Amino acid sequence: MRKQIAAANWKMNLTYQQGEELLDAILKENIELKEHQQAVFAVPFPYLIMAQTRLGNKKNYAAAAQNCSDQPAGAYTGEVSAEMLRSINIRYCVLGHSERREYFSEHNQSLAAKTQRCLERGITPIFCCGEPLSIREVDAQESFVEAQLKESLFHFSPEDISKIVIAYEPIWAIGTGKTASAQQAQEMHACIRGLLKAKYGQVADSIPILYGGSVKAGNAVELFSCPDVDGGLVGGASLVAADFLTIMRALK
């Protein structure tokens, strides 16, 4: 079975102590994940080692970075490289979240470079794509997301592409409480898988495609039960232990 992933995206929330408490509350429940299931916690950089230490020996639990540099190393004050992440054993990195695209001018080309850096270091990119409301309103979401994928990812080899996780996050659903319906999510996930299939063939069947945008304890089962939805990238609801535990339990 394709990997199913519940990924928490803490964004720029929680103090260090609150982060510790949240992780402890989640780990205390001791949810045993199946072989194909994974819980990933994308925490702020200064919390990575703490999260890594806490999750360390728990099977199928992993810490993730929320971003990395598109440069390998050097005079880039304030940046964190994929090599640095790898040196503390981080195996996942969220890339191209819409907030980074919007507020930090990330674009498809720089995201291609970031993806490359992660792949070089054996870090799985969780590559975010998704359309704004203005695009959805004119029903152009498929071509919009296609351009994002083509410009950032479609030059990679099938072997590299098989190591990527995709997160479809319609921007109009992020942090708004306005979730895409299960049908809207499935339609876009099927479209993304179709694009991957057209370009890469069978390997498309093994690539997890997560849904993000107001995933909650109350809608996770319905969303995750869609055939092409392989879990979620969860913001707000990942900050509440009970909610994220419910979302983890909703994985196929």
Residue number, nearest CB to ligand PGA? 235
The beta strand positions in 197-251, using DSSP E, are: 209-212, 231-234
Angle formed at CA 218 by CA 216 and CA 223, multiple of 5 degrees: 75
- Which residue from 212, 219, 228, 247 is in contact with ligand PGA, where contact means CB under 6 A? 212
- Reported as type and span, the H/E element at residue 8 is strand 4-9
Which pairs count as long-range contacts for 69-76, CB under 8 Å and 24+ apart, including other chains?
Answer: 69/114, 69/117, 70/110, 70/111, 70/113, 70/114, 70/117, 71/113, 71/117, 72/117
Classify 88 as helix, strand or coil: coil
Binding pattern to ligand PGA, positions 229-248, x when CB under 6 A?
A: ----xxxxx-----------
Tally the residues of the chain. Answer: 252
Q: Pick one of 4, 9, 115, 148: the residue that binds ligand PGA (CB under 6 A).
A: 9
Work out how close the CB of 190 gets to ligand PGA at its nearest, in angstroms, rounded to a whole number. Answer: 21
Is-catalytic flag, 155?
A: no
What is the x/- site pattern for ligand PGA, positions 213-232, by CB under 6 A? xxx-----------------
From the candidates 120, 169, 187, 189, give the one annotated as an active-site residue.
169
Lookup: tokens for 67: 């971003």
Binding mask 155-184 for ligand PGA (x = CB under 6 A): --------------x----xx---------
Query: Is the Cβ of residue 98 or residue 116 nearer to ligand PGA in the bound state?
Result: 98
| Residue 174 beta carbon to ligand PGA: minimum distance, rounded to whole angstroms | 4
| 3-state SS assignment for residue 159 | helix
C-beta closer to ligand PGA: residue 213 or 231 = 213
Angle at 106 between CA 101 and CA 108, to 5 degrees: 100
Q: Are 130 and 171 contacting, i.e. CB atoms less than 8 angstroms apart? A: yes
In the complex, least distance from residue 87 CB atom to ligand PGA, rounded to whole angstroms = 26
Q: Is 125 among the residues that bind ligand PGA (CB under 6 A)?
A: no
**Please, what is the minimum distance in Å from the beta carbon of residue 218 to ligand PGA?**
13
- Smallest gap from Cβ 250 to ligand PGA, in A, equals 14
Residues 6+ away with beta carbon under 8 Å from 139: none
Which residues are known to be catalytic?
Answer: 97, 169
Q: Which residues bind ligand PGA (CB under 6 A)?
A: 9, 169, 174-175, 212-215, 233-237
